Amino acid sequence: MTEDPAPRASAAGSRRRSPWGRGSSRQLLALPTFGWTLLFFVAPLSILLLYSFGQMNLITFDVNFGWTLDNYRQLNQSLYVHTVVRSVLLSLGATLGCLVIGYPVAYTLSKQQGRIQTLLLIGVMIPFWTSFVVRTYAWVNLLQNGGPVENVLHALHLSHGSLNVLYSPTAVWIGILYSYLPLMILPLFVSLERIDPGLTHAASDLGASGLRAFRRVTLPLSMPGVIAGCILVGVPATGEYVIPSILGGGKTLMYGNVIADQFFQVGDYPFGAALAMTMMAVVTLFLVVARSGLSRVEDVT
Amino acid sequence: MSTTAGQSRPPAIALEQLERHYGELTAVAGIDLAIADGEFFSLIGPSGCGKTTTLRIVAGLETPSSGRVSVRGQDVTDVPAFKRPVNTVFQHYALFPHLNVFENIAFGLKERKVSRGDTRRRVTEMLELVGLTGREKARPKQLSGGQQQRVALARSLVLEPAVLLLDEPLGALDLKLRKQMQMVLKEIQREVGITFVYVTHDQEEAFSMSDRVAIMHKGKIEQIGDPVDTYRRPQTLFVADFVGASNRFEARVVERLGSGSYRADMGTLGTLDVPGVAGLAVGDQAVAVVRPEAIRTAPGFGDAVLDGTVTDVSFMGPQTQYVVDAGGLGTAAMLSPADDDDLLHSGAAQQFRFAARSAWLVAADPGPVDDAQ
């Protein structure tokens, strides 16, 4: 009791410094989020990591927790290497496709005003209101032989014979491109809309024609949007599971499907865990690189 | 004088019957204007008078509805902005945020494919001219408003345009910096000898820098002239009001005296001989404009006397402004030097005097008196 006044005084002192009270009590506010993350993210991830170093007896289905790197060595098998390569290529291809298609759309959107702009933006987002799985199944109908896409291409004399696209990497690519396009358009739109139109006028005043002004001013200033869009599309697309299952017809496997197979079909949890950890590492690496690029271009604008 | 140079060479800028309509709205309602080479020319007027639109048409950033624009005798009406030999300093500078000071200034040179060495030399010269040597690597957002302004200026001047257009370039700066930049601009203009066309709503700013000014009103030019002439001999009531505070006294022309003077019946002020605009006829209703600084209290000064009561005193430093209730003549404003021995006090009844030759007669406004827009 005799020591009481001192801490009280210091508490009052720090209260004066901060309207929120003492630092530690403010930090308490973060506790629920912290607890949630710990319980549902860090803990499962740790278990997964633990599994990835364990071993499975394929006859008894007993998991043997040890410290073996066997699971990671298995990744060398060409099946898995090919899957990683295919996932990354499909993801890169879809990201590039989204960028090429999305940029002009975002650019046009940013040049509109008022209600027209709002309507067009809603148009970009409307697909989100329908189930993603349903929309992906719709592509089965569109792409199948004798389907609408084939009919249109025939009518335009752009192809003849069967389309033979469904259940191929191309179908998966189209599916990813379609589903992730809004995730590319929106950040691009935001960054383009933020550019002062006066800058384009200034560029033109200084002798840069429309295209030159775009290349030297608009494009570099929209880089934060380009990188953000590529992260939003590229990262989840690498781990895409639903689209390859539906449009790849079980033939065109991506990394997500292989992981799911290990858990649900084979039941080799340790190997599945090793696959999952590897993918996380790949994606994290991609993110780190992209983020450093983002902070560099954002420093400017 | 620079204005006489225009007679031997084609004008730096010539506008003929220039018009710009936005639907029902008329921004520019027929402008004819010739600006001489090397001139510092200002377009002034209240906001919405069409001055910025006119400037943007000259820059090529806006298309005229009709009329022609020529630069140094060459018709550029259909030439796109990026090919015109004019450059603009924008109101909010419009510096490229992703480029540093050097790259901003070199932007236009790169479009012209100027060699690396030449670019470095010319940019360095410009940095010196605007006093930013050593800040090459800074990004625009690391610079103060005044410094950004100088980069914008350098970025345009480095291209050695036939004409430099400035759209309220000092509007975003505080008063002290504005005054300082006015001096800088004037100095630079003299040094480089490039024609400056300056747009502002601040007549004082325009007067302090320009060789000539044009006062715009409702899309038309009301008057063109040198600052002194515009201030002392405004052609319309609008111009008289816009270029400075003015007292108005009703007058009726009773006789034309020749050499630009009229004998006018000014009610309780008596009949005075006052100079004025050409073309007033006997019997015309007119307005005598008297500048606040022309009114004094010294006994025996001038030939017009009005009795009034001081209703407000504002000490402004170099000068003191009084508001005077002059009974049937309305309210009048008076400016006197701050070192005036006996400062008047609010409520003081006094005789206020001015010389009839310091007044100026213009035709009475046909419309409502305060129709400034």
Tell me the per-residue pLDDT of A228-273, one tens digit each, with 9 for 90 and over.
999 999 999 988 889 999 998 877 678 888 888 888 888 888 888 9
Please indicate whether, in this complex, the C-beta atoms of A202 and B61 are within 8 angstroms of each other.
no
Cα Rg, chain A, nearest whole Å: 26
Residue at A287 is within a domain: yes
Residue B215: which H helix or E strand, with range?
strand B212-217
Give the closest-approach CA distance of A198 to chain B in angstroms. Answer: 6
Burial letters for B224-236: b for 16+ Cβ neighbours within 10 Å, e otherwise?
bbebeebbebbbb
> Rounded to whole angstroms, how far apart are CA atoms B197 and A245?
67
Cβ contacts (< 8 Å) between B108 and chain A: which residues? Answer: 206-208
Q: What are the angstrom distances between the C-alpha of B248 and each of B224, B286, B291?
A: 22, 10, 9
Confidence of residue A285 (pLDDT cuts 50, 70, 90): confident
Please indicate whether, in this complex, the C-beta atoms of A216 and B112 are within 8 angstroms of each other.
no
Exposed/middle/buried for residue B124 (C-beta within 10 Å: 0-12, 13-18, 19+): middle
* CATH class assigned to B245-363: mainly beta
Confidence of residue A7 (pLDDT cuts 50, 70, 90): very low
- B-chain residue closest to A301, CA distance: B97
- Nearest of A222, A213, A233, A199 to residue A103 by alpha carbon: A222
Chain A residues in contact with chain B using a Cβ-Cβ cutoff of 8 Å: 196, 198-199, 201-209, 212-213, 216-217, 220-221, 297, 300-301
Same domain, A201 and A259: yes
Same domain, A204 and A113: yes
**Phi/psi of residue B36, nearest 5 degrees:** -75, 155
* DSSP sequence for A112-145: --HHHHHHHHHHHHGGGGS-HHHHHHHHHHHHST
pLDDT of residue B369: 43
Nearest to A217 among B80, B92, B96 (CB): B96
> Rounded to whole angstroms, how far apart are CA atoms B143 and B141?
5
Nearest to B111 among A199, A206, A297 (CB): A206
B223 forms beta bridges with: B215
Residue at A68 is within a domain: no
Residue B311: which H helix or E strand, with range?
strand B304-315
pLDDT of residue B113: 94
Give me the domain span that covers residue A39.
5-52
CA B107 from chain center: how many Å? 31
pLDDT of residue A94: 95
Please indicate whether, in this complex, the C-beta atoms of A207 and B92 are within 8 angstroms of each other.
no
Check residue A250 and give left, alpha or beta (phi > 0: left; psi -120 to 50: alpha): left
Residue at A104 is within a domain: yes
* CATH class assigned to B2-232: alpha beta
Residue at A268 is within a domain: yes
Same domain, A25 and A127: no
Give yes or no for B29 touching A (CB within 8 A). no
* DSSP sequence for chain A: -TTTHHHHHHHHHHHHH-TT--HHHHHHTTHHHHHHHIIIIIHHHHHHHHHHTSEE-TTT--EE-----HHHHHTTSHHHHHHHHHHHHHHHHHHHHHHHHHHHHHHHHHH--HHHHHHHHHHHHGGGGS-HHHHHHHHHHHHSTTSHHHHHHHHTTS--S----TTSHHHHHHHHHHHHHHHHHHHHHHHHHTS-HHHHHHHHHTT--HHHHIIIIIHHHTHHHHHHHHHHHHHHHHT--HHHHHHSTTTS--HHHHHHHIIIII--HHHHHHHHHHHHHHHHHHHHHHHHHHHHHHTT-
pLDDT of residue B1: 41
Nearest to B94 among A202, A220, A297 (CB): A202
> Rounded to whole angstroms, how far apart are CA atoms A276 and A256?
8
Residue B297 and residue B322 in contact, taking contact as beta carbons nearer than 8 Å: no
> Rounded to whole angstroms, how far apart are CA atoms B202 and B199?
9
Number of compact structural domains in chain A: 2
B255 forms beta bridges with: B263
Range from A44-53, A118-127, B206-215, B294-303 carrying the lowest mean pLDDT: B294-303
Residue B189 and residue B40 in contact, taking contact as beta carbons nearer than 8 Å: yes
- Nearest of A202, A174, A286, A178 to residue A238 by alpha carbon: A286
Give the closest-approach CA distance of B264 to chain A in angstroms. Answer: 53
pLDDT of residue B4: 47
> Rounded to whole angstroms, how far apart are CA atoms B48 and B42?
16
Give yes or no for B143 touching A (CB within 8 A). no
Same domain, A90 and A226: yes
- B-chain residue closest to A207, CA distance: B82
pLDDT of residue A21: 52
pLDDT digits (tens, 9 = 90+) for A180-228: 999 999 999 999 999 999 999 999 999 999 899 999 999 999 999 999 9
- Candidates A196, A206, A297, A299: best to mutate against B (most CBs of B within 10 A) is A206
CA A85 from chain center: how many Å? 17
Which residues, at least 6 apart from B79, have a Cβ–Cβ distance to it below 8 Å? Answer: B60
Confidence of residue A6 (pLDDT cuts 50, 70, 90): very low
Can you state the angle between helices A269-298 and A78-111, rounded to 10 degrees? 30
Residue at A172 is within a domain: yes
pLDDT of residue A17: 52
> Rounded to whole angstroms, how far apart are CA atoms A141 and A134?
11
> Rounded to whole angstroms, how far apart are CA atoms B58 and B68?
10
Which residues, at least 6 apart from A96, have a Cβ–Cβ distance to it below 8 Å? Answer: none
Cβ contacts (< 8 Å) between B58 and chain A: which residues? Answer: none
Task: Judge if ipTM > 0.95.
Answer: no
Same domain, A170 and A35: no
pLDDT of residue A12: 43
Encoded tokens for B326? 């002059």
Same domain, A117 and A194: yes
Residue A206 and residue B159 in contact, taking contact as beta carbons nearer than 8 Å: yes
Can you give the three-state secondary structure of A163-201, one letter per residue?
CCCCCCHHHHHHHHHHHHHHHHHHHHHHHHHCCCHHHHH
- Taking CA B259 as the corner, what is the angle to CA B258 and CA B260, rounded to the nearest 5 degrees? 90
pLDDT by position in tens, chain B (length 373): 444 444 567 899 999 999 999 989 999 999 999 999 999 999 999 988 999 999 999 999 999 999 999 999 999 999 999 999 999 999 889 999 999 999 999 999 999 999 999 999 999 999 999 999 999 999 999 999 889 999 999 999 999 999 999 999 998 888 888 898 899 899 999 999 999 999 999 999 999 999 999 999 999 999 999 999 999 999 999 999 898 888 889 999 999 998 889 999 988 888 999 999 998 889 889 999 999 888 888 888 888 888 889 988 888 888 888 888 887 777 788 887 766 666 788 888 888 889 999 999 999 876 544 444 3
Residue at A63 is within a domain: no
pLDDT greater than 70 at residue A1:
no
B200 forms beta bridges with: B44
Q: Positive or negative CA dihedral for B197, B202, B207, B209?
A: negative
Give the closest-approach CA distance of A215 to chain B in angstroms. Answer: 12
> Rounded to whole angstroms, how far apart are CA atoms A204 and B332?
50
Residues composing chain A: 301
Same domain, A86 and A208: yes
Residue at A71 is within a domain: no
* DSSP sequence for B6-18: TTTS--SEEEEEE
- A-chain residue closest to B159, CA distance: A206
pLDDT digits (tens, 9 = 90+) for A81-104: 888 888 989 999 999 999 999 999
Exposed/middle/buried for residue B301 (C-beta within 10 Å: 0-12, 13-18, 19+): middle
> Rounded to whole angstroms, how far apart are CA atoms A275 and A260?
10
Local structure of residue B135 (DSSP, 8 states): -
Cβ contacts (< 8 Å) between B87 and chain A: which residues? Answer: 205-206
pLDDT of residue A158: 84
Exposed/middle/buried for residue A219 (C-beta within 10 Å: 0-12, 13-18, 19+): middle
pLDDT of residue B371: 42
> How is chain B split into domains, by residue range?
2-232, 245-363
pLDDT greater than 80 at residue A5:
no
Task: Number of helices (H) and strands (E) in chain B: give both, helices first.
Answer: 9, 19
Interface size A-B, in CB pairs within 8 Å, comes to 67
Residue A178 and residue A247 in contact, taking contact as beta carbons nearer than 8 Å: no
Residue at A41 is within a domain: yes
* Residue type at A125 in one-letter notation: M
Give yes or no for B174 touching A (CB within 8 A). no
Percent of chain A with pLDDT over 90: 45
* For range A46-59, the mean pLDDT: 84
pLDDT of residue B366: 63
pLDDT of residue A265: 85
pLDDT of residue B339: 64
Give the CATH number of the domain where residue A123 resides.
1.10.3720.10
